[in-house]
Amino acid sequence: MNIELLTDKNVDEYETFLLANPQTLLYASNKYRKFLEKLLDCESYYLLACNNYGSITGSLPIMLSRQDSHLGRIANSLPYYGSYGSIILSSNISENASYIRQSLLEHAYKTLNNLGVSAYTLITSPFDDMANYRQKCLEGCLIDHRLGQITTLPQQSEDPGATLLKMFEDPRPRNIRKAIKSGVKCRYSHSEGDMNFLYETHQDNIRSIGGIPKDKKFFDLVPEVFDESDFRIYTAEFQGRPVASLLVFYFNKTVEYFTPAIIDEFRSFQPLSLIIFEAMKDAVSLGYRYWNWGGTWLSQKGVFDFKRKWGAETREYLYFTKIFNSGIKNASKEALSKEYPNFYIIPFKELIV
């Protein structure tokens, strides 16, 4: 077995390898790699495990920060709001899975250490079997827990809407009916105007709760990097005025619930509930199997319950952090966050200061 880097020469084979596994997500894709490189000005380092015939049997995506800092560089699989970067394996190599997984990680550790990386975090996928990551090469890693939530979409339904409504818990069906009765209308597009509305409303929403919103560059890059078949902007209108929006991505068999936004004064009309419902119906009609709600912190009970009532199944996933330079623990949370924006560095409870 050989470990190679992803290049323009083997990118087509890599995409074919990804699509052979129905549970491979957007974050492993080559387009998302290009997206992160442009968005974060980071360096990609994607490892491919190849058998003696040259076929890809496993992969591990890695992004490295470019900061010239006395604290060293940071590596993530993957950065940016907890993007999953788990090891992906061919489905027909079960007897060698542990060996391939360990070889990829050991190669990554050696290379990253040589590149002056202070800390490396691997974020697993909610589709992963966590037992597969309890192996020697992860001993000594710091571990952070997250909850993933995924709705398995109905297949081959003559009436996707009716089938979905039976999957949801109250008050979701009631919310959807209220939006329809109130006269809320939904549509989707790829237009610059709808993207700008999403951006501006997202900024207002996140700042109102003291969070860090995605900046304008993110919204500008989406149509630049991705094709129209890769994403949709769903917009809800009330009396002809946009009042809520949702950006979803499509890859392989999964729809990614990525960026929702709503004008506060219209929340009572439940426009976002209708958007989600319409987007799910479309996903069923397009043949997608999964709706990925993304990660939730263990402390976010309200967010967790919101997703659960859309028929979402809970799947734990983990952050494994390998420390190469223990000196990074002497930095403050504020200094690290400023030095490495959009990268996961270390569980802050591990810091000395």
- Name the band, by pLDDT with cuts 50, 70 and 90, for residue 344: very high
pLDDT (0 to 100) of residue 140: 86
pLDDT (0 to 100) of residue 343: 96
Average pLDDT over residues 297-317: 90
Report the distance separating Cα 260 and Cα 270, nearest Å: 13
**pLDDT mean across residues, the chain:** 93
- Name the band, by pLDDT with cuts 50, 70 and 90, for residue 300: confident
Average pLDDT over residues 14-20: 96
Average pLDDT over residues 335-349: 92
- Name the band, by pLDDT with cuts 50, 70 and 90, for residue 61: very high
Percent of the chain with pLDDT strictly greater than 90 = 83
- Name the band, by pLDDT with cuts 50, 70 and 90, for residue 13: very high
pLDDT in tens, 139-166: 889 999 999 999 999 997 789 999 999 9
Highest mean pLDDT, choosing among 49-58, 98-107, 217-226: 217-226
On the question of pLDDT at 92 being above 80, the answer is no
Burial label, 331 (beta-carbon count in 10 A; 0-12, 13-18, 19+): buried
How far lies 344's CA from each of 74, 120, 311, 323, in Å? 8, 9, 30, 12
Evaluate the omega torsion of the peptide bond into residue 22 and state whether it is cis, within 30 degrees of 0: no
Q: Which parts of the chain are beta strand (E)? A: 2-5, 43-44, 47-50, 56-60, 63-64, 73-77, 88-89, 117-123, 142-152, 185-189, 231-238, 241-251, 254-262, 290-296, 313-323
pLDDT (0 to 100) of residue 297: 77
pLDDT (0 to 100) of residue 309: 96
How far lies 235's CA from each of 24, 145, 240, 259, in Å? 27, 33, 11, 12
On the question of pLDDT at 11 being above 80, the answer is yes
On the question of pLDDT at 287 being above 80, the answer is yes
Average pLDDT over residues 67-85: 90
Residue 163: CA count within 13 A, CB half-sphere: 16
Evaluate the omega torsion of the peptide bond into residue 78 and state whether it is cis, within 30 degrees of 0: yes
pLDDT in tens, 199-249: 999 999 999 999 889 999 999 999 999 999 999 999 999 999 999 999 999
- Name the band, by pLDDT with cuts 50, 70 and 90, for residue 285: very high
Domains of the chain (ranges plus CATH)?
2-146+317-350 (3.40.630.30), 154-288 (3.40.630.30)
pTM for this predicted structure? 0.94
- Name the band, by pLDDT with cuts 50, 70 and 90, for residue 1: confident
- Name the band, by pLDDT with cuts 50, 70 and 90, for residue 136: low
